[in-house]
Structure 1
């Protein structure tokens, strides 16, 4: 027995010694692969041709192939969307052969390829969201609308159907494609562009044209890593197109119903042979009519971008966006009816606008300068500044009186006459406006470990100065009491009281009656701690914000606040994560109260969720539940006499709900976007006599469901042929005013669909919207007018587009 044991020990010792001697004779291949801009190339396959030796790059672009027999090999670099690279190498015993590779492709280009394969799902947020974490691991509900989604659905502006791709998002005020104004989780969310808050007033910004938009990120709930001040319901971030380093181009022509014509151009390439100086240029021109007569909205867009790779660590990017809109006066899409009639009592194409009123012209300028510097593979500094200038010269229409009833436009108690049912006195007011925003931010992303705990650090500073001024002080009645506008027999000839003759020449600063300004400074720090090899992630953050606000309607308000943020995310496995979040937001408010001082609005958000990637990440589902509490919100004082616009503190409001989203590739060629949201928002405490506790807060739909299904044939004679079908359903729709009226908004259902065919460099896409030809509208009841108003959507209509890539 002892002899046998001795033999076995000797045998295993000899075997281990032999293996150790063999391993000492082997070599290793290692290195790093970078994209243009010195961005680490992740998930790139590295193989030695004709052998079993292989590796995949990590998040830092690094790879390592161990235990390679000495000899000559061909190293092979490949991944979807990149040009394959091969090179000869020699591996020597007991040595590491180092080979680094720089690819001409950029991350943006690889992302575009991934979207082409999986058209509707993106796994990582943009740089402008400042995070280093995949969406699956972020303890918050973030939904990304990909660029391919925008193309397939033929979306041409931010207000043109984007929200169907995100759970719970609605628009109760259409604003005629002028302003987007999206409501989500019971309140209007903030508008961002490339990480900057671009809201200068309630009415802005001008909705972005999709020609220069890469994708759109919806962040639900407070976002302490982005939001200096704003509503705790969330934000959307429009990410513009950047140079990719690949020379390519695309031109698209689009036409459709109601005199809709559009052409857009996208050019991308290099300005030098080394690929350090890159450019991207996007432009568009659009002529757009309406299903209502005398109404149009024409757009012209220029968006050049230049980036310069100073060295392996430093990059500069300069960008300019210009949008010009020439459109019918704001308010042309509103229709009014008496309280006794309710909604939708006139044809879907009815208009109250007056031919001959000059167009409204808008110029929207925005410029950006970004500096990026990588200290090493783990630390990066980003600094960017931007300037936004908005110029508007135009008009706004709104009725003075809606019949039937007496007319007392002076509010002195003495009627000037009586209007019959269907008779209206239309009014046109001036709306000249100018806005300037100076914004800046600097932030640092870092990674390091303390023992077994990993850290992802985010810290930075936000600075901003915004001002908005407008002239609303000039108005003109188009009609008279003796000769009003009659909706039952409309006369679009010269109005009885003539057209307005407003003063546009006096400098706006001398005649502006509406003035708003704000300045803010904020600092924030966030640490995402990873435990158990990053399976458990704990996010701890805090943000300090100082802000000063002023307006011509209230006293100057200055305040500061610290808002904490705590998030937990746990990966049950590589494709399934659960999370919880507590976050806060605060917004200083402008207003005059009878007693005391105005306090800022504060809000907090509790959120729980689960995220799942299916079938190797082909498609994703997310389910979240939230509870948002808002305190100290101001609302108008119902006891204020005319001309004394006092405010009162409403009290406390609560929004809560459940949201579900699914997006991605179900099968080869079959892609789906679907979502559902249940939302409920009520008043918990009220200081206003006419608003009772338990009252429904205006401005949302209780049930919202959307779906968009696209299938493209993958092989055979009709390869490249695609079909799409999508629908939107809303129920429990609330109006956007506290005066709900006796008639509720009905349920809403819209069905869209389309066909496409792609062969080589050409793709043809055709979509039909509102296939069922339903009378679709939104609206509200205005108590002071004793009238309903509504805005109709177009009846059945179509768009056909051709795209050529070169």
Structure 2
């Protein structure tokens, strides 16, 4: 990658920031050493029986000493809990009683677990505080199925979204983020859209009251994965219900081009939601919350063995939410049911089956945004303004079935087969206050209705494991995937039901429900894609690792649109498309790794060239270099990344249309358009001290047209309504000593200014939002062994801002205010 002036400038900034980050991190062991001095006093413990992970997490909350947990050691192990007054060492020994594990002091002032010999294990069980036992080397499969629930951490030890190899964040040669279960609960994140707003490098924009687009590195995100199985967004985004996070353990995000795992798409990011799994010991919880605008929510989560042997386990999660909005006459009702079961068919084979149902009944508009003046300026409407009539609705439901079978071979090789099928439906009738491009001065309320259904299937089979070559151990994964998407919709054309002379004074309740023809148009989209892939992680030396992968894809897409009997057909097809992946990592020392990587992804096109053939696919090529740090036994992760993405072969109109075989009836194109995105990302996630969890990141993205059909675009921003600068921070701190029942924290968000501009009907317009910052505050209190309370104050300074700005001044408006100051109280009771 050439060192452009931009890159040189950003590298200098990144190095300065990295030095500051390194200086602060180097001081942390001294902070931990100071805390380590208070290890002989006794204190009161009230830890309920449950999984060993949850018991050790509660131990860490009480003592302020983090216990680094390896899920390969603790999986399926329970703890009888602890009641009474003990020293830390006595408490640990009691919690680990009968587990065959022991805790030893770690460099961060906390503890780490290791396997004890049989003799040592017996001694540890009978002698509180014994930590002088010999260490035993443990070899475990890389497929650890690491869970973040109960860890209390804002980071993870293992993830597989980038390559399907179970690697740590430091071992992954890409910019990655993991939103853990603890972070989801601390921030009260309800849907995937909430999580995107808190994740560094990601953005969310509304195109309707309940319609969303997600972005990363300047490009839209096309797919969301569920346990590694992708589901298409795109046209399906309106229909697929946003994921309810109550059923997920964590969210893994890999930024950049990720064609090796996803197949086709944009070079933006892969978002992988990992489901909660049944636990080996019984546990359950009830969560109740209430917030501003009469928002109420309840959640039930129960898990545990279904047979005394523990070979059959189950879990059920249910939620119900009902509430209003800061906008007038808007109401939402959501419900979710999730059930999952695991069965150990043999000691080495596990079958998992799950079903989920999500249902939404929303009294919202189809558009829902606020209009601007004809020149794009702010009309200064109240944040409570809405143009929603009583009869409008936007109702959705999604059912999903997931099945997985894993077989662990004795030589540490793993075979996994998984399938996910979803059925989504949308029914709506609603409108928007729109202007006609031919008459911008007239503002009218236009109404449309429709019915959508979307059935998607995704299948994946892979084999992974270690192998020996030239005296070193390497890793290999190979697999096959298949997916299809059958999308159908029908609806009415838009029709005006009212004229809005003054947006500040109107009465939508007086509008009569219109009769609309739901068969004015019909839309059918069918997509199939299958691929084979392979990835190898070579251990070239103790310090140097190479990850190389490739994928072949077969893609077929057909779009049929019927407007009042006039039918048009669009097709895309690609055969044996090659996707490449390469990453090189060099360990500078025990804590820091340098990396460089190249990844790509493709997007088939439906435009045709002068000879009538389909254009070759759009290629998204991602070049990235960076440094990663891993501290305190992996409890804290830091990274600095520089990236450049070239999206090439974008359709560009030919300069001479007479060369087109279809001239003059249609336009033909050439694959010469290009967009380049460059940027820098910095992140810090995990435990600063045993009592202090932090997730923060800064992102700069500069995406511009390099070649385009419209020469005026070249050199300008690709999508100016996406912020170029973003800073996100979330933190939670458990107070020390006698105040350790209290936790305090919050979040901070800052983004740079955004805009859209253009000319419509001879009128120049510009819609913009200045840079702004938001502050949220959180306080938690552990009222008893079972009951905890969380209070959140959001948008503390009541900042008035546009969360999304309009795309233009005609058609439907997509300008949406962010929520005003609001509060939320959450009660959680663990059984």
Equivalence for 1:28? none
Q: How far 1:573 sits from its partner (Å)? A: 2.0
Q: Which has the higher helix share?
A: 2
Equivalence for 2:675? 653
Equivalence for 2:740? 719
The one of 687, 692, 701 equivalent to 1:665 is 687
Q: How far 1:185 sits from its partner (Å)? A: 0.4
Q: How far 1:532 sits from its partner (Å)? A: 2.2
Equivalence for 2:457? 438
Q: Secondary structure at the match of 1:501?
A: coil
The one of 703, 706, 721 equivalent to 1:684 is 706
C-alpha distance 254-129 of structure 1, shift in aligned 2 (>3 A): farther
**1:148-199 alpha-carbon deviations (Å, 9 max, x no partner):** 1010011111112x134432211132644x4552211010123211111111
Alignment of 1:546-695 (within 5 A): 546-552=554-560, 554-560=569-575, 561-591=577-607, 596=612, 597-634=614-651, 651-689=673-711, 691-695=713-717
Equivalence for 2:472? 453
Are 2:334 and 1:299 equivalent residues in the alignment?
yes
Alignment of 1:185-200 (within 5 A): 185-189=217-221, 190-200=223-233
Q: How far 1:295 sits from its partner (Å)? A: 0.8
Q: How far 1:111 sits from its partner (Å)? A: 4.2
Equivalence for 1:11? none
Q: How far 1:100 sits from its partner (Å)? A: 12
Equivalence for 1:156? 190
Q: Secondary structure at the match of 2:271?
A: strand
Moved more, 283-292 or 194-203: 194-203
TM-score by length of 2: 0.78
The one of 538, 542, 545 equivalent to 2:550 is 542
Q: Aligned partners of 2:647 and 2:373: how far apart in 1?
A: 35
Are 2:538 and 1:529 equivalent residues in the alignment?
yes
Q: Secondary structure at the match of 1:112?
A: coil
Q: Aligned partners of 1:511 and 1:544: how far apart in 2?
A: 40
C-alpha distance 446-741 of structure 1, shift in aligned 2 (>3 A): farther
The one of 753, 769, 794 equivalent to 1:769 is 794
Q: Secondary structure at the match of 2:170?
A: helix
Q: How far 1:579 sits from its partner (Å)? A: 0.7
C-alpha distance 715-180 of structure 1, shift in aligned 2 (>3 A): farther
Q: Aligned partners of 1:685 and 1:797: how far apart in 2?
A: 45
**1:759-804 alpha-carbon deviations (Å, 9 max, x no partner):** 3111100101111101121344555728965101111001100000
C-alpha distance 484-111 of structure 1, shift in aligned 2 (>3 A): closer
Equivalence for 1:181? 213
Q: Aligned partners of 2:621 and 2:126: how far apart in 1?
A: 52
Q: Does structure 2 retain, via aligned residues, the 8 Å contact 1:338–1:788?
A: no
Equivalence for 2:402? 368
Which one has a bigger Cα radius of gyration?
Answer: 1
Equivalence for 1:705? 727
Are 2:222 and 1:208 equivalent residues in the alignment?
no
TM-score by length of 1: 0.80
The one of 111, 134, 149 equivalent to 1:112 is 149
Q: Does structure 1 retain, via aligned residues, the 8 Å contact 2:686–2:694?
A: yes
Equivalence for 1:257? 292
Q: Secondary structure at the match of 1:124?
A: coil
Equivalence for 1:75? 121
Equivalence for 1:499? 513
Q: Does structure 1 retain, via aligned residues, the 8 Å contact 2:376–2:766?
A: no
Equivalence for 1:172? 205
Q: Secondary structure at the match of 1:431?
A: strand
Q: Aligned partners of 1:678 and 1:172: how far apart in 2?
A: 18
**1:431-456 alpha-carbon deviations (Å, 9 max, x no partner):** 31000112211011110221333211
Alignment of 1:331-410 (within 5 A): 331-340=366-375, 342-343=377-378, 345-357=380-392, 359-401=393-435, 407=439
Moved more, 792-801 or 195-204: 195-204
Equivalence for 2:54? none
Q: Aligned partners of 1:249 and 1:459: how far apart in 2?
A: 38
Q: Does structure 2 retain, via aligned residues, the 8 Å contact 1:124–1:134?
A: yes
Q: Secondary structure at the match of 1:163?
A: helix
Q: How far 1:307 sits from its partner (Å)? A: 0.6
Q: How far 1:662 sits from its partner (Å)? A: 0.6
**1:488-526 alpha-carbon deviations (Å, 9 max, x no partner):** 32122322xx3222356xxxxx77522211001100001
Alignment of 1:311-326 (within 5 A): 311-326=346-361
Q: Aligned partners of 1:231 and 1:200: how far apart in 2?
A: 11
Q: How far 1:710 sits from its partner (Å)? A: 1.4
Q: Secondary structure at the match of 2:729?
A: strand
Q: Does structure 1 retain, via aligned residues, the 8 Å contact 2:434–2:813?
A: no
C-alpha distance 486-349 of structure 1, shift in aligned 2 (>3 A): same
C-alpha distance 515-387 of structure 1, shift in aligned 2 (>3 A): same
Q: Aligned partners of 2:546 and 2:103: how far apart in 1?
A: 31
Q: Aligned partners of 2:544 and 2:367: how far apart in 1?
A: 54
Equivalence for 2:660? none
Q: Aligned partners of 1:565 and 1:244: how far apart in 2?
A: 36
Moved more, 300-309 or 609-618: 609-618
Q: Aligned partners of 1:489 and 1:111: how far apart in 2?
A: 51
Q: Does structure 2 retain, via aligned residues, the 8 Å contact 1:457–1:525?
A: yes
Q: Does structure 2 retain, via aligned residues, the 8 Å contact 1:735–1:779?
A: no
C-alpha distance 77-695 of structure 1, shift in aligned 2 (>3 A): farther
**1:241-292 alpha-carbon deviations (Å, 9 max, x no partner):** 1112121001100110011000001111011010000001101000021000
The one of 785, 792, 796 equivalent to 2:810 is 785
